[in-house]
Amino acid sequence: MNHDVVVRQKMAERYLLDELNPEQRDEFEEHLFDCQECALDVRAGASFVEHSKAVLAETEPETTRVLVPFFAPAKAGWFAWLRPTFAVPALAVLLLIAGYQYLVRVPRFQQALRQPQVLPWASVNLGTWGAGGPAITVAPKQGFLVFLRIPPTGVYDHYIADLYNPSGVIDSVLTIPATAGQDQWPLQIPGAKRDAGTYTLAVRGVTAAGQTKDLGRTSFELQIQK
C-alpha cells in the first residue's frame, strides 16, 4: 500500500475508528510493518483512545448507568443525539479526532515549519517586464523568493510592490523599506494555490510625506510542477 494513498485516505484514523473493510485492514496492517511514520500515528492514536475511555468512565454521570424505562416519542428529532446513549460515543469520536490532530498532526506540521528550506527563486530588475522573464518552478501551493532590484534614488521612505497574477488580479501586496545603499531585496511570496503564467510586480515609491510615484514594472514566469 502506497504511503501517499494512506495519508490521503486517512487510513490511520479510519483504522482506529474501525471503519476499514477486512481487505483494507489487512493491507494497512501489512503497511504498518514497513512504515514507521504510520506505526507511530497508530500507536499515538490508540494511546489517546484508551486515555479517553478512562476519562469518560470517570466523568460519566451516575444517571447514565441506571437502567430506567424510557418511552421516547415517535419522532425524537435531531435533539435525540444529545441523550447520553448517543452523546458519550459521539464525544469519544470527537475527542479521538481532536486528540489525534493535536498529538500527531500539529507537532509534525510545526516540526516541518522549523526545518530549513531551499525555496525556488528568481532575480528580476525593475523596468524589465513582459514575456520572456525569468522562470520559477514550484510545487503546487509552494512559496518562493523573488530578488527584486530597484535602482536607488534616496528620495523614498519605502516602496510598495503589487504582485499581479496572469489574470491581472492582485495576488499580494508587499511593503519594502528603502534602506540606504541597498538596491536589491528578497521578497518571500507565501505558498498558495496559484495558476501558472506571467506574474507582474508593479512598484511604487512612497516619500516620508506620503506622496507616491510609479517606478516601473517587472515580471517572471511561474511554472507549476505536475
What gap in Å lies between CA 46 and CA 44, rounded to an integer? Answer: 6
The listed range with the strongest mean pLDDT (73-77, 78-82, 198-202) is 198-202
Task: Give the per-residue pLDDT at 69.
Answer: 47
Q: Return the beta strands (E) in 85-190 as ranges.
A: 121-125, 135-138, 144-149, 158-164, 170-177, 184-189
Report the percent of the chain where pLDDT is more than 90.
Answer: 35
9 band by pLDDT with thresholds 50, 70 and 90: confident
Task: Give the per-residue pLDDT at 210.
Answer: 92
Task: Give the per-residue pLDDT at 191.
Answer: 87
Task: Give the per-residue pLDDT at 29.
Answer: 78
My answer on whether 110 and 125 are in the same domain is no
The alpha carbon dihedral of 126, 132, 134, 136 has a sign of positive
Task: Give the per-residue pLDDT at 144.
Answer: 93
Q: Is the pLDDT of residue 201 over 90?
A: yes
- Average pLDDT over the chain, rounded to whole? 76
My answer on whether 93 and 166 are in the same domain is no
My answer on whether 153 and 175 are in the same domain is yes
Domain-terminating residue out of 78, 96, 114: 114
My answer on whether 152 and 99 are in the same domain is no
Q: How many domains does the chain have?
A: 2
Q: At what angle do helices 84-100 and 36-59 cross, to 10 degrees?
A: 140
Residue 105 belongs to domain spanning: 3-114
Q: Is the pLDDT of residue 19 over 90?
A: no
Domain-terminating residue out of 114, 145, 174: 114
My answer on whether 202 and 128 are in the same domain is yes
Of 137, 143, 140, 139, residue with least CA distance to 163 = 143
Task: Give the per-residue pLDDT at 18.
Answer: 77
Q: Is the pLDDT of residue 86 over 60?
A: no
My answer on whether 14 and 65 are in the same domain is yes
Domain-terminating residue out of 88, 114, 140: 114
Q: Is-contact 182 150, C-beta < 8 A?
A: no
Instruction: Tell me what the mean pLDDT of segment 183-191 comes to.
Output: 90
My answer on whether 19 and 109 are in the same domain is yes
My answer on whether 29 and 126 are in the same domain is no
Q: Which range, of 69-73, 95-99, 197-201, averages the lowest pLDDT? A: 69-73
Q: What is the CATH number for 138?
A: 2.60.40.10
Distance of CA 194 to the CA centre of its chain: 14
Task: Give the per-residue pLDDT at 189.
Answer: 92
The listed range with the strongest mean pLDDT (68-72, 106-110, 189-193) is 189-193
Q: Is the pLDDT of residue 82 over 90?
A: no
Q: Is the pLDDT of residue 78 over 60?
A: no
My answer on whether 106 and 126 are in the same domain is no
The residues, any chain, with a CB within 8 Å of residue 81's CB and separated by 6 or more, are 87, 90
My answer on whether 137 and 106 are in the same domain is no
Q: Is the pLDDT of residue 62 over 70?
A: no
Task: Identify residue 105 by its one-letter amino acid code.
Answer: R
Q: Which residues pair with 188 in a beta bridge?
A: 145
My answer on whether 147 and 46 are in the same domain is no
Which run of H or of E encompasses 11?
helix 11-16
The alpha carbon dihedral of 189, 192, 196, 202 has a sign of negative
My answer on whether 42 and 105 are in the same domain is yes
Q: Is the pLDDT of residue 134 over 80?
A: yes
Kindly tell me the burial class for residue 119, based on how many C-beta atoms sit within 10 Å of its own C-beta (0-12, 13-18, 19 or more).
middle
50 band by pLDDT with thresholds 50, 70 and 90: low
